[in-house]
Amino acid sequence: MIGKVVLALAGVVASLLAIYNNPPYGLHLLLPILAMTLSSMLTGWRCTLAAQVLLWLGLILLCATHHIPLAEMIVVAIVTAVVAFAVQRDNNPLLGAFGLHQTTENEVLRSLLSAVPVVLLDKQGRISRASKACADIFGIPQSATVGQSFGDLVPGFDYAKQAAPSVPSGQVESGRANWHAMRPDQSSPIPVDLWLDHTPQGPLIRLVDLTPRHAADAQARELHSQLNKVWRLNSLGEMAATLAHELNQPLGAAAAYLHAAQEDMKAAGPLGESALRTTDLAKAQMLRGGQIIRRMRELLTMEMRALEKERVSRIVDDVLPILTLTGQDRNIVISTEIEMPDVVRMDRIQVQQALVNLVRNAVEASPNNSSVVITGKVISDRSYEIGVEDSGPGIAPDQVDSVFQPMTSTKSGGMGLGLSVTRTIVESHGGTLRVGVSRWGGARFSFNLTTAKQEAEE
């Protein structure tokens, strides 16, 4: 600002000195015009107006002291004023004294609006003005939007039904799931929300691009699908382990009985040789069945991947939208209380599945209009505790030992695998799944994970 003032004063002083010294060949008239033109080009309208006033005062003083005739004073004053006005009009901003200057506030407002997708419609539903952000959504130049029917760019939009003066301001409802902005390159239409506001110039419609929201929803669904897949595999592994354990005992007993029968057949001599061969085949198939079960157990039992460095708050935030939906119908609020630092070693997907299992159980156990809290607490420089607290009736003391057993469930229709799978995940991370009493008297399930710092030291 100081530099512009100095330039304006320099233009005035140069002009007055040129007139005062009265150079030949009419330079005393030309030099003031050149000086004021240059000053107007390099300064704003305020400095230009102030310099023009000072020049007029100087010209009056020189005319009063007979250094310049009255006619030349008038010519110089008029010509410099016209030149300064023309330069400022082309240079923008304009002279505020004539009401033609665009104020700084309006310029800022215009810059902000250019980043917002808005369109102004006329009475026929055609676009009279559109912001650059709006033109970018439609994939056409900003100038090309003017005059186009908004209904052609957003199929299904009817001016009489959705933007007439009688229609209240607010979100414009669509008969379908969303409005869609069409693009001339025939690419996928962009889902948008429309918001209407009535102005003196006509209906103003703001477009909200829903693409980022839909992308986030798709990512949440993909994560949910991955978690369900891991849960099914873990559950199948638990079932395979249980079946292998339970079936190995009767198969082993049957093999022992066959072996005893073979000994009796050997004592019978030649009469038992035929039956001995048959029992040998049966015994071999029984042992083969045991081997198949053990191989299936090894195949389906969860494999532990290398543990990565993860933040507890981040893995909780990733699944929080999914967890929130589980309690939404019953107005159960799911919140988090995560202490820092929260960097631990874990398999992210498996720990997220354990959290999903625990929170689902907590929501099902809690009454309506209650709370479930996911906590994270630093126990030591080697251990970090993750817990889930509910507002339900809690776990009876006589059920604490059996609640983690596979195929054991207190819910009708439950498979009894959720806590069993969760315990397997926790134990594969070197921790122990514990149950206690929450702050509301309900159940609190917790487990510890190794901090990343300890791993680094080891």
- The pLDDT tens digits of the residues spanning 311-340 come to 999 989 888 887 887 788 888 999 999 999
* pLDDT value at 175 more than 80: no
Instruction: Write out the DSSP string of 345-383.
Output: EE-HHHHHHHHHHHHHHHHHHSPTT-EEEEEEEE-SSSE
Asked whether 95 and 30 are in contact (CB, 8 A), the reply is: no
Question: What is the C-alpha separation between 158 and 259, in angstroms, rounded?
Answer: 86
Number of neighbouring beta carbons within 10 Å of residue 364? 17
- The pLDDT tens digits of the residues spanning 59-115 come to 788 788 877 778 777 877 787 777 777 776 555 443 333 343 444 445 555 665 667
pTM to 2 decimals?
0.41
pLDDT band at residue 292 under the 50/70/90 scheme: low
pLDDT band at residue 57 under the 50/70/90 scheme: confident
Of 231-245, 261-275, 413-427, highest mean pLDDT: 261-275
- The pLDDT tens digits of the residues spanning 141-151 come to 888 888 889 98
Asked whether 426 and 354 are in contact (CB, 8 A), the reply is: yes
Q: Which residue has the higher pLDDT, 145 or 251?
A: 145
Residue type, 360: R
Of 7-11, 86-90, 183-187, 326-330, highest mean pLDDT: 326-330
Give the three-state DSSP class for 21: helix
Question: What is the C-alpha separation between 91 and 37, in angstroms, rounded?
Answer: 12
> What's the whole-number mean pLDDT along residues 178-191?
83
The pLDDT, as a whole number, for residue 224 is: 80
* pLDDT value at 384 more than 90: yes
- The pLDDT tens digits of the residues spanning 13-37 come to 777 776 667 666 556 667 677 777 7
Residue type, 56: W
Q: Which residue has the higher pLDDT, 252 or 435?
A: 435
